[in-house]
Amino acid sequence: MTRKYFGTDGIRGRVGEGIINPEFVMKLGWAVGRVLGCNGSDQGKVIIGKDTRISGYMFESALEAGFSAAGVDISLLGPMPTPAIAYLTRTLRAQAGIVISASHNPHQDNGIKFFSGDGTKLSDKLELAIESELDKPMQCVDSARLGKAERVEDAAGRYIEFCKASVPFNMTLNHLKIVVDCAHGATYYVAPNVFEELGAEVYTIGTEPNGLNINDNCGSTRPEALQDKVLQVNADLGIGLDGDGDRVIMVDHKGEVVDGDELLYIIARSRVEEEKMNGAVVGTVMSNLGLEKALQLDGIALKRAKVGDRYVMEMLQKGGWVLGGESSGHIICLDRTTTGDGIISALQVLHAMFRSQRSLHELKNGMTKYPQCLVNVRIKKKVDITSSTLLNDAVKQVELQLKDRGRVLLRPSGTEPLIRVMVEGNDKSEVELLANNLASVVKEAFLR
């Protein structure tokens, strides 16, 4: 069945437009309460956290009203990283965890993400059940059964200890100078404390949220400020988180960005050295070919999922594997937690540095990234890209030319009429030429 409201990661959009309004969000809380908030004969409970964007106050109140109307108790966490909500949902024995966030998007956007009681993303079945409830008239339970709300005062402290426990107790960050960019988002308090309590000398940027500056020229999607600060203070490395804290990129002491593919390689390589790496690593169709080649040297297969962390998670669970991620820095370590977690992923990289006594720059050099060229071709309407013989023949010709030196990927956008043409190989000039030639064939096939 086609989902009416849910995207690949909850519900998201521009505040005040479409369904991203208080009325819908209140009913969404009621619907989720009806599906996930039941707890046998006892009163159910959900927890609600948010990032720092100004509309979070409005949607927090709307969700609280909806859950109360469904007869579900609410524990309010305030600004907390998305993975913290996943963890606290489990430890507080809630039936569901709700995150009010639009992740790396600007403050004008917001959204609602969900975790089940075991701290994992919702299945398609549960999302469809919620959508079914949304199509029904909203009804309030008897006043004696209305849900009650409370604030959880020690949420940040609980999560800080959980993060620190993801690395061995004897690991310290003494003598490391680290810059942490929190994107003026949900990690602004938690992240600096985690690294400071482990002994690092921490410099911060992006830790003064005002409701409007989340992800504004900072964080994992805009690492330029982090690069500058690392060089300015002569830091050993920088850590860049996104607005809700589920993604991370890093910067080495030379100011070079270390992306999600490289971080995934460093973590996997360290697990191999510790003899704690079993099975495959899961990336996506966009993961760099250099990651695949580097993992092969250690006897590790790279399996490719569709773009989106939910698809990485599905493949991990199906294969019984523990490590996966995306180039954007959304890394999942299922041997440490249940979802993508920027702070915990960064700690796994720091542990690799600690046990090997090597710098981040040295560790990332074990993997050589292949040049990629991505060209977006705007078309008039969504099309089946496999329907064009002209395009299929052109792709085959490029694949024959590259052989095992590279690869080709054509991927329709899931949200707009675009075809993304990606060519990857060991020669940058060749890759750019082939990508632009294929883009021209796409235009010829679908814009005539």
Separation of alpha carbons 191 and 342, rounded Å: 9
The DSSP secondary structure of 190-250, one letter per residue, reads HHHHHHHHTT-EEEEES----SS-TTSS-STT-THHHHHHHHHTT-SEEEEE-TTSS-EEE
> From the candidates 55, 101, 103, 327, which is the catalytic residue?
103
Which residues lie closer than 8 Å to 135 by C-beta, 6 or more apart?
Answer: none
- Whether residue 103 lies in the annotated active site: yes
Separation of alpha carbons 265 and 366, rounded Å: 8
Task: Give the residue among 228, 190, 229, 185 at the shortest CA–CA distance from 210.
Answer: 185
Coil, helix or strand at residue 334: coil
Q: Counting Cβ atoms within 10 Å, is residue 235 exposed (0-12), middle (13-18) or buried (19+)?
A: buried
Q: Are 295 and 281 in contact (CB under 8 A)?
A: yes
Which residues lie closer than 8 Å to 388 by C-beta, 6 or more apart?
Answer: 445, 446
Task: Kindly compute the dihedral angle of the four CA atoms of residues 54, 57, 63, 68, in this order, to the nearest 10 degrees.
Answer: 180
Q: Which residues pair with 282 in a beta bridge?
A: 303, 324
Q: Output the six-digit token pair for 448.
A: 């005539």
Tell me which amino acid residue 239 is: I
Q: Are 189 and 78 in contact (CB under 8 A)?
A: no
Coil, helix or strand at residue 281: strand
Give Cα 236 to chain centroid, integer Å.
Answer: 25
Coil, helix or strand at residue 7: strand
> Annotated active-site positions, please?
103
